[in-house]
Amino acid sequence: MTLHMRRPFKLPPIDPFLLALIATVAFASVVPARGGAVHWFELATDFAIALLFFLHGAKLSREAILDGIGNWRLHVMVLASTYVLFPLIGLVLTGLEAGWANPQFASGLLFLALLPSTVQSSIAFTAMAGGNVAAAVCSASLSNLLGIVATPLLLALFSHVGGGGGAAPSLAAVQTIVVQLLLPFVAGHLLRPWIGGFVTRHKAILQPVDRSSILLVVYTAFSAAVVGGIWQRIDLADMAVLLANCAVILALVMGANVAMARLAGLPREDAIVLLFCGSKKSLVSGVPMAGALFPAAQVGQVVLPLMVFHQLQLFVCAVIAGRYAQALAQEGDETPQPPPGIPQGADAAIAAAAGHGMAIPPECLPGVVENLALLERQAAVLREADGGEA
């Protein structure tokens, strides 16, 4: 008898954050916030959203945005995928399904199609697949920045067409975006020289703050939805159709991105950036935005497609990135990287320190920058003595 080795069967890993989201939805379904508590939860939610964007403003390095800007053709393609291709597919799908049983899911699908790309997972998948990480940082950051303004505007433009019903944001909603999202973001970013270090240093504390603020938004949203009778309006068939819709959107976008990269003759590293940054939709930006743009009672149903899509994209992209990494290893393609340079300037120093999980205290920053400049001078002397190559 021959024994055959069987590949051990493994369940695909589930994002623990998604499990927390599901638990929050379940909790809100059983114990929703009611009566006087609603006001306080809404206040807390507003504060959490503002805090979230404030922290993102403090976290995002100006250099990360500026550094990769040179690769404009790639960024235009990524932005086109996020803000043109996605909305077109969303519009067509919701148009085709005009007799949708649950119009708020249609609203949610359209909303999802208009959202910016994710930052962290886009970059992580790009790195895993051996793509152009610097360009991914830039593309994803640009997409997120642009999304603060572009998503509400596009939603205002398209929701009339897409049959989103009461989801159209008024000028007041855009104002809310500015006050609740943009201002805290800019404030955070302007305070970055002082608090950027703290934010990075206390990543372990801030990450739960970041995530729990999203959970708070979800809880308030679902409470409102439950009180408004969401579970009476959703059935298994709705969920199945939702999942199918998300799969179709993802497949169409990814297919189009691969074709677009080939047509444009993008190098492999940039094609990977387009594939991952161009096909993502951000749950982190999307949930608070929905909280700001849609009436509380609708938010729960509007973000449901986003939650389904989010987990689907993580699964699919993880599999694809794994394939890329495997192919890269098989090719033995170890393109020698030029030795990375010594970080120069405050932003580069902060970014390099963050790469080591370290935050440079503001009072040390000038001295560190000065010492890095001194080290760079020594490195130049060494290069000259050592034959001059970079």
Partner 1 sequence: MSAAALAQDIRAGRASAVAVTEACLARLEADRHVAITRILGQRARAEAATVDAEIAAGGDPGPLAGVPYVVKDLFDVAGLPTTAGAGLLATAGPAAADAQAVARLRKAGAVLVGTANMDEFAYGFATVNATHGTTRNPHDPARLAGGSSGGSAAAVAAGLVPFSLGSDTNGSIRVPASLCGLFGLKPTHGSLPMAGTFPLAESFDDIGPFATSAADTALVWQVLAGAELPSPAPTAFRVGRLGGRFRQNADAEQLAAIDAIAGEGPLVDLPGIAGARAAAFLITAFEGGALHRDRLRENALGFDPATRDRLIAGSLLPEALHARALRFRQRFRDEVLAAIAGFDVLLAPATPCVAPTIADPRIRIDGEMRPARADLGIHTQPVSFLGLPSLAVPLKRPRRLPLGVQLIGWPGGEPMLFAFAAELEKRGLIGCETGVMA
Contact residues toward partner 1 (CB under 8 A) are: 201, 339-343, 349, 352-353, 356-361, 363-364, 367-368, 370-372, 374-375, 378-379, 381-382, 384-386
Q: Min. distance of Cβ 349 from partner 1 in angstroms?
A: 6
Q: Min. distance of Cβ 375 from partner 1 in angstroms?
A: 6
- Whichever of 175 and 371 has its CB closer to partner 1, that residue is 371
- Whichever of 62 and 201 has its CB closer to partner 1, that residue is 201
- Whichever of 51 and 348 has its CB closer to partner 1, that residue is 348
Q: Min. distance of Cβ 157 from partner 1 in angstroms?
A: 46
- Strand, helix or coil at 273? helix
- Whichever of 106 and 360 has its CB closer to partner 1, that residue is 360
- Whichever of 240 and 358 has its CB closer to partner 1, that residue is 358
Residue from 249, 223, 286 nearest 44 by CA: 223
- Whichever of 228 and 362 has its CB closer to partner 1, that residue is 362
Q: Min. distance of Cβ 344 from partner 1 in angstroms?
A: 10
- Whichever of 331 and 384 has its CB closer to partner 1, that residue is 384
- Whichever of 49 and 372 has its CB closer to partner 1, that residue is 372
Q: Min. distance of Cβ 292 from partner 1 in angstroms?
A: 36
Structure tokens at 170: 């008024």
Residue from 147, 128, 177 nearest 78 by CA: 147
Q: Min. distance of Cβ 347 from partner 1 in angstroms?
A: 13
Q: C-alpha distances in angstroms, 258 versus 77, 274, 359?
A: 11, 8, 38
> Is the four-CA dihedral 63, 64, 68, 72 of positive or negative sign?
negative
CA dist., res. 143 & res. 139, Å (int)? 6
Contact 294, 110 (CB under 8 A): no
- Whichever of 267 and 339 has its CB closer to partner 1, that residue is 339
Q: Min. distance of Cβ 21 from partner 1 in angstroms?
A: 31
Helices (H), the chain: 16-30, 36-59, 62-67, 72-80, 86-96, 103-113, 120-128, 133-162, 171-176, 183-190, 192-201, 203-227, 230-233, 236-264, 268-277, 283-293, 296-331, 346-355, 365-385
Q: Min. distance of Cβ 143 from partner 1 in angstroms?
A: 28
Q: Min. distance of Cβ 133 from partner 1 in angstroms?
A: 15
- Whichever of 204 and 263 has its CB closer to partner 1, that residue is 204
Structure tokens at 356: 């080591």
Q: Min. distance of Cβ 378 from partner 1 in angstroms?
A: 4
Specify the long-range contacts of residues 95-103, CB closer than 8 Å, at least 24 apart. Answer: 95/161, 95/162, 97/245, 98/163, 100/163, 101/237, 101/238, 101/241, 102/233, 102/234, 102/238, 102/301, 103/163, 103/164, 103/165
DSSP string, 9-38: P-PPPPPHHHHHHHHHHHHHHHS---THHH
